[in-house]
Amino acid sequence: MIDFGFGLSPSSRVNLDLRDKELFSKLIETESDALKCMACGSCTASCSAGVFEETSLRSALLNLQNGNKEKALNLLSHCMFCGKCTMVCPRGINTRHLILSINKIYQAR
Amino acid sequence: MTTLLNTMYTQITPEGIIDRYPNSYNHFVLPFVIGISFIIVYLLIGLIRILYHLTAEDRKKLLVSIFTPKTAVKNIKDIFCDCLIHTKIWKRKPLLGYMHSAIAFGWFMLIVLGHIEVALFAPRHLDSIADGALYYPIFYRFFIWMSPEHETLRGSLFFFLMDFFLLYVLSGIALAMYKRVRSIALGMRHTTKPSLADRVALYCLWAIFPLRLLAEGFTADLSGGSFLTRPLNWLFKSFFGNELNFLPTWWLYSICLGLFFLAMPFSRYMHILTEPMLILMRNAGLKVRKPRKGFAEAEIYACSSCGLCLDACPMNTQKKNLKYSSVYFIRFLRRHNEKKVKEIAEKCLMCGKCYALCPVGVNSPDIRRALRETSNTKLSYDYAPMDKFSLPVEGDQKADIMYFAGCMSHLTPKIIKSVTTVLESAGKKFIFADREGGICCGRPMLLAGRTEAAKELISKNKKMIMESGCKILLLSCPICYKVFKDDYDLKDIRILHYTQYMNELIEKGELKVTKGSLSMVYHDPCELGRGCGVYEEPRNVLKAIGELKKAEKERDESICCGGSLGSLTLDNKDRGKIAESSIDNLTAENPQSIVTACPLCYRSFREKSPIPVKDFAEVVCENIKSN
Amino acid sequence: MKNNILIIGGGPAGLEASGILVKMGYNVILVEKEKQLGGHLAKWDTLFPDGLKAEDLLKAMIKKTGGVKYFTDTQVQSVNILNKSYNVILSNGITVLADAVLLATGFDLFKAEKKEEYGYGVYEGVITNADLEQYFKGNFSIKKPKAVGFVHCVGSRDEKACNPACSKVCCATAVKQACHIKEKFPQADVFCFYMDLRMFGRHYEDLYLKAQKMGIRFIRGRVSEVAETSEGRLLVKAEDTLSSKPIKVTLDTLVLMAGMRPSESGYQVGHQLNLSVEEDGFFSTKDTMLSLQKSNLEGLFFAGAATGPKTLPDTLHEARSAAMEIDNYITETFNKR
């Protein structure tokens, strides 16, 4: 390929081939619940922090699956751990511990 | 007799006491001396370690408290009541209390009386270690000969007291042995599995006092005795003749004592020595700062591993979850089993019942919180957006009352609606702090060990509340109430849970209620009852509006609903099982409905309860007298 | 001698099966716990996908059952298995010796007050799908709304409500009801909050298209809480998952699409016979493909929602299959040719 000395702006398309599968599988080892999400949005809708700034476990999980770690961590950084999402999750996911684990595993890198 | 007297050191005291051995020494004391020396050195090192790990501020606090007359009196009272008599166990389980006080108080009295005896009759042996100060009072009866003609009233009183307390201890030991076979007879459903060191120490403890009885029985005709040892002596003589071959029993007695002290630091019996220290530190107002060091270490070693927390723990509904009880948590902490410790720390519901019922008062929930802190507090967070805009605060901005519903109450609209209706019927104007949602109170973050994050939330809420100019902060969630009360420092603002406030309104006559016919049982939410000591106010109100029935266990023995935010890892199935057992406990007297005063309990019970579950404010609302 | 066949449940499944079995020449006894026949159908106004009047359908079905002995306001008190037949004592004192029993006990609607956060029983404006049908039938009135919302999956696909399964009919019902509301109040904003829109049957998609064309707004997100504004309207919070934004909207009426739960009275009958139920609480069939109408007991059959959520056409198909299975069973067991 010829190098023109300048790059094209990166595609906005998520390239699933290049996503970081390793960390996500590490997450699944401790949090198999992460696979149970059906993206209903209950957690985001009831989120106490979400009133102030975009906070969404649902969206964070999708971002992690797509390899967008920074976005995911941003979406969880305002979490106040109040537990409303655990109460409303129709799949019975232990959302609070899932958020803790995501922070632990992904903040480490 | 004559052969013995030949070897005697002939110095007769006015009481007729003669030292049988010139140096007051015999080889059999060695095991005991080794044991007691070991434990003293171990204890000193431990004490220095604990004091070293305390912060300078805490050390100063401790020192000041020890020399403050008020706390000093309290210290003595607590040590006497908690370590020796164990009033806490007496109150709940009298037989178990008797067992423990028989062994602890009885043994203590034997030691004290033994020392007084020596001080009175052979004072020179207490002068220095070389004179046998370490062992002489323990084996006093072996070393002396008492001329029967010289027996005084004072001497006989001590003989009687020594025999009496020995019998007292022996009765406790007999109960302890029976408890091993059938613990339920003493009111314990679950008991701990003893470790190896526990077993060694336990069997030694069982053997010490019968051996002492035998040993003193052999020597009763020489050194005196009373109603227990003298008949025994007579019995031995008629069996074994006049042969005075009693040295082996004294050896065995000493070996058991020595072994007991050697096993002590690795066994549950360490609490005998560490508990007084814990009492001093607790009365000085120290708190757990690190999960293992300093104050926490004192707590860990003060655990007597008695297993009363097994019966207290809500996890005991399923045998597989018994391992998450505090007694095992502390055992694994002592063994440095990091993996298990972490798992248990995260699983706990933090309901605080083990702490409330612990005879030693080990605050294991707080140690768990400190442990969570080590792994969770470094996680980053960003609460800057909460400053960007403030949510609309509704209601009369000049009102004295601010109602803060809290996150969870928003999922139980009935609670919010009932509270606001009650306020309106009492003619109270109020500010609704978080109708549109608000900042979390910070308690969940604290429980998860993210202390720094919690502090930031607390400061933001505090600012909002202080700026409002309110005089009463009203809460409908016990989780919020606990943190507002303990960690907020809101100056002159009264912080009230709605159960307290409604009780006040009714007592003042500002809210008029009618007595209905509904029979109810009240569930004490963990954070409200054990957490903040609010037991009477809700019951007062419920008695005024209906028939209040009793639960099998209530107040500080109330069973967690299973929905607690305290647990980070417990799954829904296990939570459901706990809710079911809590409901069984509540419905013992067949009430028509369960009443609780916490949005979480309300939700957990509603999922499982066969009878209607109502919120406290809801029943108050239903019984407001209409004009 | 005619063989006795007892049908427990006088809803669509029980009615359809009894009509056919009577024609086949059996002596059919139908037991219904309510005062009138028809089950949930009797309480419904119109049916999806084409708006057929429930009343008309029910009339036609009852007409077909001419000759059936039926007892309304009657429940099964006890059941015993005697050799090859069932000895059933009814609450009206009558004892039936039946050669075959058909359980057509159907479903109960999920009790919407159990989802506390939706405020059913707390806020006046929150009603259920069944309440709305009563309104359509003219049995009660609502204030002219400016905005109406429909919450799909209330008590369905929800582990917290102990029902992880889909109730199958709520999506289509919600869209049908939403259209109906929009027709009545063309000025009102109508929102449907759904998790996945399951419009699987013939003509269902047309219904969806019709709703879209009417301007009904479909929001992909589950409602998480309902609060009351100071004016007494409903503040509904959800996430619009397609735009990844939490949203709130003020409504006057919120309709909860309560899902299907196993019938309580049906469970009582099954319990006496030791019939096994699956984790979802519905009866388990003999297998999952070939013998859907059979139970593990000889001579005991199922039809309709007793074995899981079903649409009305599915239920009627099952009733017909069950009638055929019963006929085969009687012929093989009692009238060997």
**Interface residues of chain B, partner chain C, Cβ below 8 Å:** 394, 410-414, 416-417, 435, 572, 602-603, 606-607
* Chains touching C by CB (3 or more pairs below 8 Å): A, B
User: Using the beta-carbon criterion (under 8 Å), do A45 and C246 form an inter-chain contact?
Assistant: yes
A66 interface with B at CB cutoff 8 Å: no
Residue B42, φ and ψ in degrees, nearest 5 = -60, -45
Q: What is the mean pLDDT of chain C?
A: 94
Asked if residue B221 and residue B80 are part of one domain, the reply reads: yes
Angstrom distance (rounded) from CA B382 to CA B390: 16
Q: What is the pLDDT at residue B14?
A: 55
A50 interface with C at CB cutoff 8 Å: yes
- Interacting residues of B376 by C-beta distance below 8 A, sequence separation 6+: A100, B448, B449, B450
Asked if residue B604 and residue B499 are part of one domain, the reply reads: no
Could you tell me the residue range of the domain that residue A73 belongs to? Answer: 21-107
Angstrom distance (rounded) from CA B418 to CA B426: 12
C146 interface with A at CB cutoff 8 Å: no
A5's torsion region: left (phi>0), alpha (psi -120 to 50) or beta?
left
Nearest residue to B109 via CA among B99, B98, B117, B97:
B117
* A89 occurs within a structural domain: yes
> Which residue reads 């036609």 in tokens?
C60
Residue B442, φ and ψ in degrees, nearest 5 = 100, -15
> Computed from CA positions of residues B318, B324, B325, B328, in that sequence, does the dihedral angle turn out positive or negative?
positive
Distance from CA of A2 to the nearest CA of B (A): 43
Angstrom distance (rounded) from CA B546 to CA B11: 80
In this structure, what CATH number is given to the domain that contains residue A71? 1.10.1060.10
Give me B450's structure tokens. 């993210």
Residue of chain C nearest B602, judged by CA positions = C116
Helix H or strand E segment including B466: helix B451-468
> Which residue reads 């064309």 in tokens?
C213
Angstrom distance (rounded) from CA C136 to CA C139: 8
- Sorted by where each starts, the structural domains of chain C and their CATH numbers stand as 4-106+263-333 (3.50.50.60), 109-260 (3.50.50.60)
Nearest residue to C87 via CA among C29, C11, C170, C149:
C29
Q: Strands across the sheet with C225-228, in order?
A: C225-228, C234-240, C245-251
Q: What is the mean pLDDT of chain A?
A: 88
CA distances from B594 to B446, B562, B618, C69, C220 (A): 30, 15, 12, 45, 37
Helix H or strand E segment including B253: helix B247-263
Lowest mean pLDDT among B148-152, B174-178, B511-515, C237-241: B148-152
Nearest residue to B165 via CA among B95, B93, B218, B117:
B117
Residue C79, φ and ψ in degrees, nearest 5 = -130, 135
Residue C46, φ and ψ in degrees, nearest 5 = -130, 165
Angstrom distance (rounded) from CA C229 to CA C236: 10
B385 interface with A at CB cutoff 8 Å: yes
Bridge partners of residue B315, in order along the sequence: none
pLDDT at B413 over 70: yes
* B278 occurs within a structural domain: no
Using the 3D structure, point to which of B467, B486, B504 is the last residue of a domain. Answer: B504
Asked if residue B308 and residue B256 are part of one domain, the reply reads: no
In this structure, what CATH number is given to the domain that contains residue B172? 1.20.950
Angstrom distance (rounded) from CA C316 to CA C305: 10
Q: State which amino acid sits at residue C14.
A: G
Instruction: Note whether B351 and B530 are within 8 A (CB).
Output: yes
Q: What is the pLDDT at residue A61?
A: 94
Asked if residue B494 and residue B416 are part of one domain, the reply reads: yes
Cβ of B452: how many Cβ atoms within 10 Å?
Answer: 13
pLDDT tens, position by position, B157-192: 888 999 999 999 999 999 999 988 888 877 778 888
Question: Could you give the number of structural domains in chain B?
Answer: 4
* B5 occurs within a structural domain: no
In this structure, what CATH number is given to the domain that contains residue B522? 3.40.50
pLDDT tens, position by position, B5-58: 444 444 555 556 677 777 778 888 899 999 999 999 999 999 999 999 998 999
Residue of chain C nearest B614, judged by CA positions = C116
Nearest residue to C44 via CA among C120, C132, C107:
C132
* B25 occurs within a structural domain: no
A45 interface with B at CB cutoff 8 Å: no
Distance from CA of B56 to the nearest CA of A (A): 33
B376 pLDDT band, cuts 50/70/90, is confident
Using the 3D structure, point to which of B223, B246, B271 is the last residue of a domain. Answer: B271
User: Using the beta-carbon criterion (under 8 Å), do A41 and C238 form an inter-chain contact?
Assistant: yes
Q: What is the pLDDT at residue B88?
A: 85
The SS3 of residue C126 is: strand
Cβ of B596: how many Cβ atoms within 10 Å?
Answer: 27
User: Using the beta-carbon criterion (under 8 Å), do A44 and C223 form an inter-chain contact?
Assistant: no
pLDDT at A109 over 70: no
pLDDT at B498 over 90: yes
Of B417, B602, B606, the CB nearest to C122: B417
* B534 occurs within a structural domain: yes
Asked if residue B345 and residue B436 are part of one domain, the reply reads: no
User: Using the beta-carbon criterion (under 8 Å), do C160 and A42 form an inter-chain contact?
Assistant: no
Asked if residue B571 and residue B478 are part of one domain, the reply reads: no
Angstrom distance (rounded) from CA A88 to CA B559: 24
- Interacting residues of C119 by C-beta distance below 8 A, sequence separation 6+: B413, B414, C126, C226, C227, C228, C234, C254
Asked if residue B483 and residue B567 are part of one domain, the reply reads: no
Angstrom distance (rounded) from CA B474 to CA B418: 13
Nearest residue to B409 via CA among C228, A98, C160, C126:
C228
pLDDT tens, position by position, B303-358: 988 888 999 999 999 989 999 999 999 999 988 998 999 999 999 999 999 999 99
* Chains touching B by CB (3 or more pairs below 8 Å): A, C
pLDDT tens, position by position, C193-228: 999 999 999 999 999 999 999 999 999 999 999 998
Q: What is the pLDDT at residue B388?
A: 75
Angstrom distance (rounded) from CA B65 to CA B284: 5
Of C161, C225, C241, the CB nearest to A46: C225
Largest CA distance in chain C: 76
Distance from CA of A8 to the nearest CA of B (A): 33
Residue of chain C nearest B415, judged by CA positions = C122
pLDDT at B241 over 70: no
Predicted TM-score (pTM) of this structure: 0.88
pLDDT at B364 over 50: yes
- Interacting residues of C177 by C-beta distance below 8 A, sequence separation 6+: C129, C132, C133, C136, C150, C255
Angle, alpha carbons B539-B524-C113 (nearest 5°):
95
Of A52, A83, A97, the CB nearest to B386: A52
* A96 occurs within a structural domain: yes
A23 interface with B at CB cutoff 8 Å: no
Q: What is the pLDDT at residue B248?
A: 84
Question: Could you give the number of structural domains in chain A?
Answer: 1
Locate all alpha helices (DSSP H) within B267-398, ordered by sequence.
271-283, 295-302, 308-312, 326-335, 338-347, 353-357, 364-376, 385-388
Angle, alpha carbons A61-A67-A72 (nearest 5°):
45
Angstrom distance (rounded) from CA C171 to CA C257: 8
Q: Is the peptide bond before C49 cis (omega within 30 degrees of 0)?
A: yes
Asked if residue B328 and residue B204 are part of one domain, the reply reads: no
* Cα first-last separation, chain A: 33
Q: Chain B interface, mutation test: which of A30, A52, A79, most B Cβ atoms within 10 Å?
A: A52
Asked if residue B528 and residue B460 are part of one domain, the reply reads: no
Angle, alpha carbons B298-B300-B285 (nearest 5°):
45
Q: What is the pLDDT at residue B6?
A: 41
Contacts of A46 in chain C (CB under 8 A): 117, 224-225, 237
Q: What is the pLDDT at residue B140?
A: 84
Proportion of chain B above pLDDT 70, given as a percent: 95
Asked if residue B311 and residue B443 are part of one domain, the reply reads: no
* B102 occurs within a structural domain: yes
pLDDT at B2 over 60: no
Using the 3D structure, point to which of B475, B504, B533 is the last residue of a domain. Answer: B504
Angstrom distance (rounded) from CA C123 to CA C109: 20
Could you tell me the residue range of the domain that residue B453 belongs to? Answer: 385-504
Instruction: Note whether C136 and C334 are within 8 A (CB).
Output: no
Asked if residue B346 and residue B464 are part of one domain, the reply reads: no
Instruction: Note whether C162 and C277 are within 8 A (CB).
Output: no
- Interacting residues of B378 by C-beta distance below 8 A, sequence separation 6+: none
Of A51, A87, A90, the CB nearest to C159: A90
Asked if residue B480 and residue B521 are part of one domain, the reply reads: no
DSSP secondary structure letter of residue B81: I
Higher-confidence position of C292 and B85: C292
pLDDT tens, position by position, C265-314: 999 999 999 999 998 999 999 999 999 999 999 999 999 999 999 999 99
* A37 occurs within a structural domain: yes
